A and B are shown apart, each in its own frame.
Chain A
């Protein structure tokens, strides 16, 4: 385990998480959430939990992003608050 790589990915996870809840554009939030899931997937893989990483990649970064984009497409793109 290379700690520099670990810290870099952890920083990206934090930025993606904060970005996903603060950004006003919901489509952007969906994409940021997908990026967050992918970074988490990398972290799981670094920690040796390959099964969890696989699930995170397929469910978190793959299908749930599609669901969010579909939901944004059928509702509004801007948040009210």
Chain B
């Protein structure tokens, strides 16, 4: 083998094996819409006039609630898709394309893109670790779903279908 060392050979093979395993796992897990476990859907209040959704106290509805002020943009009438992006993010543009398309298609839905670098407090509060991260909010601004990585269009539509 001449100048090839045993240690070098072992390292190259291990690195390629581990990286392949990681890559395949990541490819599979990337962009999947995960439900927020604590989320409680908007109660159907029609038959009970006592239930006032708007004044429901924090905590009752489970997931975290985002406001127009936090997002720096108005919430959608029926739902909002929030996208966290950075400049050094390859899949952010494709994500934007999909989300804009879906937001136009489903009425009452807004797409809000947030520059993660400029909103580090929000990033820490919501535990955003990489970009793109996509959050689906219901009409109250409560987070119902979260996807890390480029989401599939059908999954975004399905997630919105549950809240609008």
- A and B: partners? no
Interface residues of A (CB under 8 A from B): none
